[in-house]
Chain A
């Protein structure tokens, strides 16, 4: 469904991605793990059009998207939930959700989806009229995912949804992620620092190190791999 081929990205003189190739098959959860600064977020930002690759191609649904503007990429059904949640702090929860549905004009459908989001995250319904900035970290992450889902994406890219959250909240969020994949048929590209959790949730995994893919395999295989266990799972 989504395919990156030999993608290079530079920040000025810094060579952040050095020839990344990866593939996200339809209906699967694919995860990217790797140390801080390995280039995971850069990959997602490049896919969603915030950054421009210096070379390489990105295709989605058979269409080249690496030259498209971010807003056009969203139109193709690809949604990116950025690192650090990036809720609009001075918009209410409801308004944040409306922004997620910015490109849609079917009022009825939007309302249905809003209800659906409140089913997944009942806490958000209680906070409807509250400003996004006043929510707790966990609530903000839920809102970020709900907001992304308002655009009815076919592929969701999540950047470190567990960042800075209490384990119990993380558990809750990952359950929802697995549910979205199972029940809504959503394809997911998941970037995580919490490698064990990510590998348990995902079907396939890529391991990054300073801008290159050093390993790719089925998630279960990676979880058993000695090298991965040592470096990312904190056990020998």
Chain B
């Protein structure tokens, strides 16, 4: 036991790059040693890890609470399914049918090998745009409103996705409505000559690549000038503004990056689900689940987001099993998420693996500036600046 602890401590003292490479090496050999159930779970975890890393950009780096991250999962997924189902019919028109059983006759526009990579980029870009648009109304108001606006917009989207032909716009033609989306088998993407089925190694490595890209992107973002500006906004928006940080611009960058990564997560979700899912599953609990992963791991910490979501989904999967006829009711899992949020915030607000923040302590004049600020009700005491 103590041997293990010592090894873990040694692992913890390695630098980011070495740790990352070790984790990557383990991830590469994983599919060759585990069985199918675990493989499926690891696809689940991988997809949600991408989402958690995207959410971490806003919640962890920027210090704004996003309660509607599921919007990117949903948008990314719907865009992906839509693009995959685009077909050029023999008479030259372009049509789509996301839940047609037989598919439409004709040639699939994104039927070429590797099209999924292009589609992932498009899904990410659409979500980046969505993230910016969603964030615009909150720029002039206190950070708290971001939580409400994101929550509300995700709910609005959830309603709108189910608009059928009796509404202004028939959204069910893109989202499948209550029946869900089911891509025809022929429309599934092909990568490196391999038609993507969840059990094929290509899917595993595609999702793993998504995680790696998200890790590298958020890592470099955090280290860059933008990352430092975001940290300033998180610590004290007013002071950041006073120091000349363009708060609005940097917030929008964070929203865009967060949305982009979320969109990638949405696209990977479709790949993992082999194109069969229902937008009705994209409810507030998905946002909460991802948030729980980030909070549990440690807001602002990349390895935290990875570990947090992994631990959470492992628990989630374990609790969904049938134990001798007894199953935990699904709502009880929600109870656990709520409980987890409160308990972590109370006893370990920095999470399991808090971010390593390099920096100097504040100078006296900075303290003075902090102190003379108007009453900050949750920061009456000292400020955590280590």
Q: Is the CB of B382 within 8 A of A14?
A: yes
Q: Which of A31-48 contact B (CB under 8 A)?
A: 36-37
Which residue from B368, B372, B382 sits with its C-beta under 8 Å from A12?
Answer: B382
**Chain B residue at minimum C-beta to C-beta distance from A41:** B371
Which residue from A11, A13, A37 sits with its C-beta under 8 Å from B368?
Answer: A37
Q: Is the CB of A13 within 8 A of B361?
A: yes
Q: Is the CB of A13 within 8 A of B364?
A: no
Q: Is the CB of B386 within 8 A of A13?
A: yes
A14 to B363, CA, bound (A): 11
Q: Which of A195-218 contact B (CB under 8 A)?
A: none
Q: Is A133 an interface residue (CB 8 A)?
A: no
Q: Which of B356-386 contact A (CB under 8 A)?
A: 361, 364, 367-368, 372, 381-386
**Chain A residue at minimum C-beta to C-beta distance from B362:** A14
Q: How large is the interface on A (under 10, 10 to 19, 20 to 34, 35 or more residues)?
A: under 10
Q: Mark interface residues in A111-133 (1 if CB within 8 Å of B CB, else 0).
A: 00000000000000000000000
Please indicate the chain A residues that have their CB under 8 angstroms from the CB of B382 in the complex. Answer: 11-12, 14
State the Cβ distance, A11 to closest chain B Cβ, in Å: 4
Q: Is A25 an interface residue (CB 8 A)?
A: no
Q: Is the CB of A12 within 8 A of B384?
A: yes
A84 to B375, CA, bound (A): 13
State the Cβ distance, B83 to closest chain A Cβ, in Å: 52
Please indicate the chain B residues that have their CB under 8 angstroms from the CB of A14 in the complex. Answer: 367, 382
- Report the interface size for chain B: residues with CB under 8 A from the other chain: 11
Q: Is the CB of B384 within 8 A of A84?
A: no
A37 to B382, CA, bound (A): 15
Please indicate the chain B residues that have their CB under 8 angstroms from the CB of A11 in the complex. Answer: 367, 381-382
State the Cβ distance, A18 to closest chain B Cβ, in Å: 15
A37 to B370, CA, bound (A): 13
**Chain A residue at minimum C-beta to C-beta distance from B385:** A12
Describe B's contact surface by its main secondary structure.
Answer: loop
Q: Is the CB of A12 within 8 A of B364?
A: no
Please indicate the chain A residues that have their CB under 8 angstroms from the CB of B383 in the complex. Answer: 12
Please indicate the chain B residues that have their CB under 8 angstroms from the CB of A12 in the complex. Answer: 382-386
Please indicate the chain A residues that have their CB under 8 angstroms from the CB of B368 in the complex. Answer: 36-37
State the Cβ distance, A87 to closest chain B Cβ, in Å: 13
A235 to B32, CA, bound (A): 82
**Chain A residue at minimum C-beta to C-beta distance from B365:** A37
Please indicate the chain B residues that have their CB under 8 angstroms from the CB of A37 in the complex. Answer: 364, 368
Q: Is the CB of A84 within 8 A of B364?
A: no
Q: Which of B128-182 contact A (CB under 8 A)?
A: none
A41 to B372, CA, bound (A): 12
State the Cβ distance, B359 to closest chain A Cβ, in Å: 14
A12 to B383, CA, bound (A): 7
A171 to B58, CA, bound (A): 53
State the Cβ distance, B377 to closest chain A Cβ, in Å: 14
A13 to B384, CA, bound (A): 9
Q: Mark interface residues in A58-95 (1 if CB within 8 Å of B CB, else 0).
A: 00000000000000000000000000100000000000
Please indicate the chain A residues that have their CB under 8 angstroms from the CB of B364 in the complex. Answer: 37
Please indicate the chain A residues that have their CB under 8 angstroms from the CB of B361 in the complex. Answer: 13
Q: Mark interface residues in A136-163 (1 if CB within 8 Å of B CB, else 0).
A: 0000000000000000000000000000
A37 to B372, CA, bound (A): 13
A37 to B364, CA, bound (A): 8
State the Cβ distance, B379 to closest chain A Cβ, in Å: 12
Please indicate the chain A residues that have their CB under 8 angstroms from the CB of B367 in the complex. Answer: 11, 14
State the Cβ distance, A27 to closest chain B Cβ, in Å: 33
A36 to B361, CA, bound (A): 19
A36 to B364, CA, bound (A): 10
Q: Is the CB of B372 within 8 A of A84?
A: yes
State the Cβ distance, A65 to closest chain B Cβ, in Å: 20
Please indicate the chain A residues that have their CB under 8 angstroms from the CB of B384 in the complex. Answer: 12
State the Cβ distance, B362 to closest chain A Cβ, in Å: 9
A13 to B383, CA, bound (A): 10
A211 to B83, CA, bound (A): 68
A-B pairs, 10 with minimum CB distance: A12-B382, A11-B382, A37-B364, A12-B384, A13-B386, A13-B361, A12-B383, A37-B368, A84-B372, A14-B382
Q: List 16 A-B contacts (CB under 8 A).
A: A11-B367, A11-B381, A11-B382, A12-B382, A12-B383, A12-B384, A12-B385, A12-B386, A13-B361, A13-B386, A14-B367, A14-B382, A36-B368, A37-B364, A37-B368, A84-B372
Q: A14-B367, A84-B372 are in contact. List 12 more A-B contacts (CB 8 A).
A: A11-B367, A11-B381, A11-B382, A12-B382, A12-B383, A12-B384, A12-B385, A12-B386, A13-B361, A13-B386, A36-B368, A37-B364
Residues of A within 8 A of B (CB): 11-14, 36-37, 84
Residues of B within 8 A of A (CB): 361, 364, 367-368, 372, 381-386
